[in-house]
Structure 1
Amino acid sequence: MTQQLAIKEGLFTWPADKPELLGSRCKHCSEAAFPAQDDCRACGQRDTEIITLGSRGTLWTWTIQSFMPKSPYLSDETPETFKPYGVGYVEMPGGVRVESRLQLNEGQTPHIGMLLDLDIQAFRTNDSGQQIMMFSFKAAEE
């Protein structure tokens, strides 16, 4: 089996049967952040803890990205194989908004308020043959 690595340690639980996003919460003012931060962006205290943000959120806003992303989000796509894709802000329980790639089914149009589920997928293969795993969101299965 090919080894799988998270694109960046601490973004989501991995490996996991039911992965969840990871963030931080300030122990002083309870402000939550994604990705996890050592310093609180609201009160400036340096006393945060790692929390799980869950695996289901609500689409807050979205757009279509029509250009290839830059590092570290370069995929195995080439300019010839690149296809535009949906990008949105997903509001997680507790109010943290996470920017993410959206997985859309053929003909599916996202809509604000849409329930979305976290999905971890192979994003690219590195020079050592390891699959680099990245999070995205897809329409929730009711």
Structure 2
Amino acid sequence: MHAIAEGLFTDEAPPRLIGGRERTSGRIVFPCPPGAAYEPVALSRTGTLWSWTIQRYRPKSPPYAGPDTFRPWPVAYVELPGEVIVEARLTDVAFDQISIGMALELTSVPLDPDNAASAQIPAFRPAATSGAAA
């Protein structure tokens, strides 16, 4: 996988996000900041939807480096239990099916969905486990 930035995903299969644990307090953040104050830590692959919105306009460039053709996408805050809340895209779910508290699992999506060689960005999709709380 060609990630949009180094140090976002572990090398394991399936990959996990890499957060940072502050050495003095134990507080976890994402992504892992550079320097000696934080140690890298692999984060949970599953979480729950804490909040969300729909990105309905093309973000300003720079910093956005995605495709010129814009299609709205859901943006989520996903709570990884006991760790941190991360911001990422939601995928594989219709806008009207998104609900606070839904069970999610980590995946990745191309920054440019029309380009197979596009860099991959973190995303979450509805969890495949049966009986998950919605």
Please classify the TM superposition score into its range, dividing by the shorter chain length: 0.7 to 0.9
Match of 1:135 among 96, 106, 122: 122
How many angstroms apart in 1 are the aligned matches of 2:50 and 2:43? Answer: 16
Counterpart of 1:35 (choices 25, 31, 36) is 31
Correspondence for 1:60: 50
- Which residue number in structure 1 is paired with residue 65 of structure 2? 74
Tell me what 1:7 maps to.
4
Equivalent residue number for residue 109 of structure 1: 97
What does 1:118-129 align with in structure 2 at a 5 Å threshold? 118-124=106-112
Following superposition, the deviation at residue 8 of structure 1 comes to 0.3
SS in 2 for 1:97: strand
Asked if 1 retains the 8 angstrom alpha-carbon contact of 2:106 and 2:122, the reply is yes
Q: Is residue 22 of structure 1 aligned with residue 15 of structure 2?
A: no
What residue ranges of structure 2 are gaps of 5+ in the alignment?
A: 130-134
How many angstroms does 1:134 deviate by? 1.1
| Letter of the 2:81 counterpart | P
Q: Secondary structure, in 3 states, of the residue corresponding to 1:58?
A: strand
- Which has the larger share of strand? 1
Aligned residue number for residue 38 of structure 2: 48
How far, CA to CA, are the matches of 1:17 and 1:73 in structure 2?
28
Number of corresponding residues: 126
- Give me the TM-score of the superposition, normalised by structure 1: 0.76
* Structure 1 alignment gaps of length 5 or more: 40-45
Matched, 1:92 2:80: yes
Deviations 1:77-105 (A, max 9, x none): 51xxx221111100113231101111143
The structural deviation recorded for 1:108 is: 4.3
Show structure 1 runs of 4+ deviating over 6 A.
Answer: none
Higher-Rg structure is 1
Q: TM-score, normalised by structure 2?
A: 0.80
Identity, % of aligned pairs? Answer: 38
Take 1:91 and 1:115, find their aligned partners in 2: how far apart are those partners? Answer: 10
